[in-house]
Structure 1
């Protein structure tokens, strides 16, 4: 009995400390509760405490020495090299806003310690991030942001894709080896390989986290600048309280409302405007506005409260005159398609366009794309802009991306989307492009549409295609070649909540799809900071691979048997494209494309 009590009083051993802290980190990573939830934060603090004890014990044991090589470290001890990385990962899970900057700097320091150890032992080949950002480096960084170095951006993007692919491959191998190592059935060689894979995986994670930490630190510091400036400057003058009043269109209405509400002042629009014009304040009481603000306010008043309705009539007249344009090729603008904005958009993820076969300008094409994802970022950037260089990759081909026709009912918006080469995904518009504009045209259709958006989940390769045969029938009627394309990573940029069949939210989603052609998706991405929730997409690589064209005969009225035949040939070509490139772009070899 005394021996048992004495054993309970003994401090935990290093393996127990490490395994428990690693388990806590895994639980935090997969937790369904928000990161700020009390139960999650308790696990974070406990994990950090255990890792601190582990680090102190490693220091006492002097387990690692700079005088020894990686081969001299015992296989079972390799995992303890990960202690600083695990500390950094758990530190990022803390959600105290007042200490966020300190937490980020502490986490960065520990990720850097881990990378330094790994570089010393030559665990993998990589470039060590900078240890500090001095003023000269900050000036250089800001200058590079103002004038982006496209070569450097391309290099960073390629490195990011390579790291992502390597991490996915390592995770797949680790999952296959985990059971044997944890059960003790693996020999020393396999145990060593298992922990070396873990070390290399955490190298990739640490490099990504340091990059994200640097961005977040910059945001936090820039956010604090206005606060410091206001603290050092004079206190702004208090804004006078705004008194309620009744604003009416004419004097008769002012009398009526004035009699009904004697405690409130009433005035007409003209009286209000004259009063504010005399003191030079529009519209806030006592606060002068800029010229643009005053102009926009005056325009709003004129449009709403006066008889200057001609602008609305002219807009409607232009829509009536120009109504067929969006169904007849639209008005494409090379300038809009080449905006620098799209390049920044592309590099955020990053997004890439890959060609596997040439597209001859002598033919027309229907490029069918999968999957839809939540917003189809990949297909938009690759085909509606020149950010990835479509014109250079496929010379002589003019792409037109199909979308909902309802967008073209909105003034101004319709001209904007037409300028990017976007067209309605209607039979009339698509047939016009494939038969009335000569050769070298490619219409791009995201075949799964709104129904497929509801199936968008990270690491899920499921598309809605079995009953989607209209694009095949259109290809047969026009003689356009069918081209399969797949956007690897499109489903990874948002996390979506799914609802069971028969629930009221699922019913609402179906109603929305039936009425407006759009699905009501409940999803989230990231916020401005790393661990926050928001609607910014996760910056995961998206790679759209365009496959080999499938020649289609021109048949004026194809029967269903013929449509089914070429639909089956298309599915076969799409599966082949998916299987040939899935491993290269982050999916395991065992992943299969599910078609429903």
Structure 2
């Protein structure tokens, strides 16, 4: 081979930035097109301008010809690498070494192929280091319940390896949340079938004029089988719901449980006081028959009203409260008559789960209780996570009933009920707030702008969050005297004692069950109405 010293060429093409010679070109006599880079020649010092150890004078080749040959090789290599979709690409004539200096990088024979291949091809192959992108780190987030989830564009997705029990708990909560749409859709579907009209039309008339939900017969109509189904244990275990008693209750007296706060849907009230063998109400308060109360309008929805009555719910009207506390459910059930529409409707339900409890007998001396979510729809608009804003002072009707029936009021404070949903609260008296108050005045309830989690994610949806709800039952507050028409002074004094017991519950348990409340006064319990 013949070697040519490139120090004679201009520094722009054959020298580094400091003007020193960086490489030699070796031209094979067999092929003038084969150009091989060699760096070993510069390991020895050569002060003389002429190359050492050369047997023949260098052929006369100009620098433009060499540059043209290098350029053609680069173009051919780029085309070949593009067509083969390989990762090898052609680099510049001058690469940067590890020290940052400009110079030619030596190419080993094993990287370029054999010498015969290089001479036959007559091309120069340059290899460039291709920087590989760093793999993205998988960000995992641990949520309540111990699930490790991954974020996908800001949304935490549920993992695939969730235990089957937790899946069933989610399904139970989903089923309970969509009971009204399910029963309403079923009714309209059956109504579209003319063959069902002889049954559905009398049943619809019965729903409009029935008084079964406020005549005090709810304890007798409830189905213990339905209230004890395993689905309710899954439902209460989803959050989970936990019931705590600070004192025992005398079964010889009657009570009114006042549940705070309302929250968005009052999951705690339903789980504690509308199911059996779930959170331990029967063991904490033996001998007490409790009935959860809800709006009268819910008992006008076809099919859904029957579900509520089989679960033991009743109307929250004054007549219903007095009938339940007086034990009017002890009266015998109405006789079956062929002329009553509801008789024919009940013939459809022949399964045992729909039969009234035959062994129930209302206690005559005491042991009767009702549960009222006192704040109502107005308090649902105050269901902000980290806060405890209660609507209590204007709810004086329950005090009148307690004095008239000589029943003790038992404050119930549920820590975590407001944390089950996130709510957007409109302020400044805007159109949304006015619309919410209008719906409340017309329908008796309102629709908060809330959201929580979904079935397969933890950030978007209408399912409640998996957050523990601890419900604490306080000491009963009895009226000083039973009277038919209590005066305002008696109501004020009774209310002050009730609010004092409610504050005691908050002060004693807020540091245990409300550790995540807002700091300062904003996280303290306040009475907004």
TM-score normalised to structure 2 length? 0.57
- For residues 159 and 322 of structure 2, what CA distance do their matches in structure 1 show? 52
- For residues 339 and 419 of structure 1, what CA distance do their matches in structure 2 show? 12
Candidates 339, 349, 358, aligned match of 2:229: 339
2:273: which partner in 1?
A: 383
- For residues 584 and 328 of structure 1, what CA distance do their matches in structure 2 show? 38
Q: Is the 8 A contact 1:488 1:544 kept in 2?
A: yes
Candidates 377, 384, 402, aligned match of 1:450: 377
Per the TM alignment, residue 586 of structure 1 is displaced from its structure 2 partner at its CA by 2.8
CA distance 1:215–1:424, shift in 2 (3 Å): same
Give the gaps of 5 or more residues in structure 2. Answer: 1-134, 151-155, 165-186, 329-363
SS in 1 for 2:512: coil
SS in 1 for 2:268: helix
Q: Is the 8 A contact 1:508 1:520 kept in 2?
A: no
2:505 matches 1:577 = yes
CA RMSD in angstroms, aligned pairs only: 2.9
- For residues 163 and 370 of structure 2, what CA distance do their matches in structure 1 show? 46
Q: Is the 8 A contact 1:477 1:554 kept in 2?
A: yes
1:482-532 C-alpha deviation (Å, 9 max, x unpaired): 101100000001000011142110110011001101112101001234444
1:594: which partner in 2?
A: 526
1:324: which partner in 2?
A: 212
1:337-367 C-alpha deviation (Å, 9 max, x unpaired): 1111111111111111111111111000011
Higher strand fraction (1 or 2): 2
Matches within 5 A, 1:113-124: none
1:393-438 C-alpha deviation (Å, 9 max, x unpaired): 2111011111100111123222211122211110000000111353
Q: Is the 8 A contact 1:425 1:445 kept in 2?
A: yes
Per the TM alignment, residue 302 of structure 1 is displaced from its structure 2 partner at its CA by 8.8
Matches within 5 A, 1:87-236: 106-108=138-140, 208=145, 210-211=147-148, 216-218=158-160
Give the gaps of 5 or more residues in structure 1. Answer: 1-101, 112-204, 223-298
2:303: which partner in 1?
A: 412
CA distance 1:329–1:216, shift in 2 (3 Å): same
Q: Is the 8 A contact 1:524 1:535 kept in 2?
A: yes
1:449-488 C-alpha deviation (Å, 9 max, x unpaired): 0000001110011111121111111100110001011000
Per the TM alignment, residue 107 of structure 1 is displaced from its structure 2 partner at its CA by 3.8
Larger RCO (alpha carbons 8 Å, 6+ apart): 2
CA distance 1:531–1:430, shift in 2 (3 Å): closer
TM-score normalised to structure 1 length? 0.50
Q: Is the 8 A contact 1:509 1:521 kept in 2?
A: yes
2:474 matches 1:547 = yes
Per the TM alignment, residue 377 of structure 1 is displaced from its structure 2 partner at its CA by 0.6
2:246 matches 1:356 = yes
Q: Is the 8 A contact 2:207 2:299 kept in 1?
A: no
1:53: which partner in 2?
A: none
Q: Is the 8 A contact 2:145 2:466 kept in 1?
A: no
The count of residues paired between Structure 1 and Structure 2 equals 323
2:211 matches 1:313 = no
Larger Rg: 2
- For residues 572 and 301 of structure 1, what CA distance do their matches in structure 2 show? 52
